[in-house]
Chain A
Amino acid sequence: MADLLGDLADLRRRAREDRHAYAFPLLFFGVASFLALPLYAPAEPSARGLDVRHPALLDLYWSVVLVVGGLATVWWYRRRGARVGIETSTRGYLGALAIGLGGPVVGVALDHLPFRFHSGTGVGLIVLAAATVLWHRQAPRAVTPVAAVLGTAVLQHDQPVIAQFIAIGLGLVVLAALERSTRFTTITAAYLVVLCVSAAFTPLAVPVATTWSMGSVVVLPGSVLLLGGLAGLRRG
């Protein structure tokens, strides 16, 4: 009987390993992060502020990256599932993508609230944590997405510089849960930690802002994405 349970555990482990396809989204978003660096050129070479020269272009770039990257990830998972013969559900990831993209839209409404949060980041994280608990407890269908949308929107509104990385992180959390991969979960956890560090310390405050000082915001999360993607490739 114990042998049978051991055999079943092996089958489960093999099925999970065969489903792994996380290298692609990590590499895609990692490369896209570093390609965004030139767009972080400061508004004026001598400016001390945190404005980029072409904010609309930067916003457009990240919107395109999120949409194309998200759809390409779904395509990749489906293609790999068809090729290997074991398919991962991508519905949850599509939901996370929609939430990440919809966050800034909801954020516009937050500007018109008659009050301000003392710490939008704190509120956003609490609401997102609540959404995660609701998801695990399989709360009524509408409650979890509403909490996730609100939490993401508040967080992105309070941390606009890393809003795109919050959207990517949301997708990674959902993918890691779907894949049930310890390695991917570890990479995602490292990414989230690095994102917090990035939110606290970047863009680097230097006497004269440069593209590198402004673009420092993409270096830490982008590096974790790239290294995680390479680790995923090596694993196969």
Chain B
Amino acid sequence: MAEHPTAALDDVVHQKHRLGILTVAAEAKRVEFGYLRSTLELTAGNLSRHIAVLEQAGLVAVEKGYDGRRPRTWVAVTPAGRAALAAEMAALRALVERHVASQP
């Protein structure tokens, strides 16, 4: 019997905001902390915590620098992060398809 799609969901990636961070970061070379905060409508503290979780799992790389005198933090998705995002999206789509197929 085929494994249920929920088995493919990764707890680190599946959380809604972390999934959002990975989705946005995967669209670019790197994305700035402030952009993520405004796009995902998160507080700085909340976003920092989610980024720390993703960084610890090796799914994103964080780079700190300066734009003039302004400190800036950039987030880039790693190859492992890209693969994890692709797997998560595939699992989510499989779940939706399964749900649609089970409708009378």
Contacts and interface: CB of A to CB of B under 8 A. Distances in A.
Interface of A: 1-2, 4-5, 7-8, 11-12, 14-16, 18-19, 81-82, 84-89, 180
B24 A5 contact: no
User: 8 tightest CB-CB pairs across the interface, nearest first?
Assistant: A85-B35, A85-B32, A89-B29, A15-B27, A87-B29, A86-B28, A15-B24, A86-B31
Given A8-B20, A11-B20, A15-B24, A1 B29 contact: no
Given A5-B92, A7-B20, A84-B35, 10 more contacts: A5-B96, A8-B19, A11-B40, A15-B23, A15-B31, A16-B27, A81-B29, A86-B32, A87-B74, A89-B28
Given A2-B96, A5-B92, A82-B67, A87 B20 contact: no
Residue of B16, B27, B67 contacting most chain A CB atoms (<10 Å): B27
A85 B27 contact: no
A86 B35 contact: yes
A89 B74 CA distance: 14
Contacts of A87: 28-31, 74
Contacts of A11: 20, 23-24, 39-40
Interface string B32-61: 101110011000000000000000000000
A119 to B, nearest CB: 39
